[in-house]
Amino acid sequence: MMASKRNIQTEQYRWQRHHPALIVGDRLRAHARRADPMLPHFEQSPVASECGAMGVASALVILGLAKSHALTMASTRKSGVPYVFFQAFRETWFEGCDHQDMVRRILMMKLPVSLGFRFLGAVDLESFAMMNLARGELVMLAFRSVQHGKTNHWALGLGAEGVAIDGRHIVDTLLLLDSSAPDPQYRVWNARLRMNDGGVSHVNLVNKTSSKRSKPITWWYESSQWAPELVRLEAAVRIKRND
C-alpha cells in the first residue's frame, strides 16, 4: 500500500526592520542620550538641492551625534558637530553633491563613524544596500529616474521590508526618510523604493557567484509627494557609529 503524501504548508509572512533608535508615533523621533527623543527629519527647500545634506543631518541625529535643534542653527554655530556639518556641506546647498563627493564630505567632519560604500557599476551595489538596511543600518541612497532623468536624488535609507518564506527573508522594499516629503506619521518612512516585478530577488543577489549581473534592477520610487516612477540606484553609503 502506498504511503499517503503529507500536506506541506508554506509559512509565509511580511516583515520589516529599521534602525533601533527610531520611535514610531505621531511624528518620527529618535532616542537621544541624556535628552528627550528628537525629531530626525529635515525637510529641504523646494528651490534648493540639499537632499544629500539633509539626509546626513538626519543620520547625525539618529546616531546620537548631534541634536536636531542645534542642526537647524548650524549656520550660526562656531564649534561642535553642527558647525563641522555646515562647513562640510554648505557648498552643496544649491548644487548638490555626487557620490564620491558625499563620501569625501562625510569624512571631512572627522566624526566617530565608519563608512562603507558602493557606486554605480559595482556588481553588488543593490545587495550591499539591501543587506545593510535589512540589518537596521543607515544607508544614504542616490537614485535616478530611468525614464526621463529628471529625478536625481539622495534619501536616507533606514530600514527594509520584505517577505519571509519558510525561513528565507527576502527584501523587496527599502524604507526611506526623504527630505522632499513631510514627516512620517505612525511609521518610520515617508518614501520607499519598492522592487519592480522584473527585478532580481534578494536571495539571488546574496548567493550570487558570477561577477556579472543577470539583469538590471529597477525600483519604484514611491512618495506621498510624487507619482511613482522607475529609478535605479546609483550609490549606497553606509554610515555606522564606531564608538
Condensed to tens digits (0 to 9), the pLDDT of residues 216-231 reads: 689 999 998 778 999 9
Q: 228 with 147: CB under 8 angstroms?
A: no
CATH code of 15-241, in short, is: 3.90.70
- Percentage of the chain beyond pLDDT 90 is 70
Residue 203 has pLDDT above 80, yes or no: no
Element at 171 (helix H, strand E): strand 168-177
Question: What amino acid occupies position 119?
Answer: F
Element at 140 (helix H, strand E): strand 138-145
Among the listed ranges 13-17, 31-35, 130-134, 196-200, which one has the minimum average pLDDT value? 196-200
Q: 156 with 176: CB under 8 angstroms?
A: yes
DSSP assignment of 53-77: HHHHHHHHHHTTSS-HHHHHTGGG-
- 74 is written with which cell numbers? 548650524
Q: 176 with 193: CB under 8 angstroms?
A: yes
- Determine how β-strand 168-177 pairs with β-strand 113-119: unpaired
Q: What is the pLDDT of residues 206-219, one digit of tens each?
A: 444 444 555 668 99
Whole-number mean pLDDT of the chain?
A: 88
Element at 133 (helix H, strand E): helix 125-134
Per-domain residue ranges of the chain:
15-241
| pLDDT value, residue 61 | 97
Q: What is the pLDDT of residues 152-184, one digit of tens each?
A: 999 999 999 998 888 788 899 999 999 999 999
Q: What is the pLDDT of residues 120-145, one digit of tens each?
A: 999 999 999 999 999 999 999 999 99
- 58 is written with which cell numbers? 538626519
Residue 40 has pLDDT above 60, yes or no: yes
Residue 194 has pLDDT above 70, yes or no: yes
